[in-house]
Chain A
């Protein structure tokens, strides 16, 4: 258990509204990631962070922004939600290990955009 929580766990919203998802970790890990998981596409990286205020884009970053003002929190914002952003969103952290980069995942947030 890497001490990762996500909130909310479920959300229904309407097209055009802003949505913020929160990822919280308790173990001071440097690297944090946001993924979305969709049928037929698997897990795809949206954004990641390698420190406070240090973030970078992933494979599917359009329509998303992130912020990390504290080590423990990584926020994902959909500025104006669209139906194509209906998905399950996972936060992950990584541990610095000699055996490669292993990531640990939170429980996920199910987002439905109507």
Chain B
């Protein structure tokens, strides 16, 4: 069962364009993380959002957690080639003495110079 749906799966844009990646679920999460992964490396944490409606900014990246804590979005302004990579969202649920993360399948972003 895929609890987190990410869209789009693939995105190829020109340098300078804006884009939004979506992460949707029917489940409520205690928090949601966004990661970026480059080829041959492990995912690297970008941000954690915890409160419904929360907005966090990281330079040109804006992350939003839905009011009901079921969905999230990542918006990139004026994309750069260095933004190229696989973007993963992950929702956290508590249980069995530890939080477990459920990952979306990812959005592969290519920014063309």
The complex places the Cα of A56 from the Cα of B17 at a distance, in Å, of 44
Contact B100 A45 (CB under 8 A): yes
User: What is the number of contacts between chain A and chain B, taking CB atoms within 8 Å?
Assistant: 69
Contact A100 B98 (CB under 8 A): no
The complex places the Cα of A31 from the Cα of B45 at a distance, in Å, of 17
Contact A105 B31 (CB under 8 A): no
Find the B residue at minimum CB distance from A49: B98
Find the A residue at minimum CB distance from B40: A108
Contact A99 B31 (CB under 8 A): yes
Mask: chain B, 29-50; 1 = CB below 8 Å from A; 0 = not:
0111101000011111100101
> Within 8 Å of chain A (Cβ to Cβ): is B61?
no
* Interface majority SS (helix, strand, loop, mixed), chain A: strand
Contact A100 B42 (CB under 8 A): no
Chain A residue total in the interface (Cβ 8 A)? 26
CB distance from A20 to the nearest CB of B (A): 19
Q: Which of A40, A48, A99, A104 is in CB contact (< 8 Å) with B100?
A: A48
A69-114 interface (Cβ within 8 A of B): 90, 92, 94, 97, 99-108
A sample of 17 cross-chain residue pairs with beta-carbon separation below 8 angstroms, ordered by A number, consists of A41-B105, A45-B101, A48-B100, A58-B100, A97-B48, A99-B31, A100-B30, A100-B31, A100-B99, A101-B31, A101-B101, A102-B48, A103-B45, A104-B45, A105-B35, A105-B42, A107-B41
Residues of chain B whose beta carbon lies under 8 Å from any beta carbon of chain A: 30-33, 35, 40-45, 48, 50, 88, 90, 92, 94, 96-101, 103-106
Which 3 A-B residue pairings sit nearest by Cβ, starting from the closest? A100-B31, A101-B99, A105-B42
Residues of chain A whose beta carbon lies under 8 Å from any beta carbon of chain B: 31, 40-45, 48, 50, 54, 56, 58, 90, 92, 94, 97, 99-108
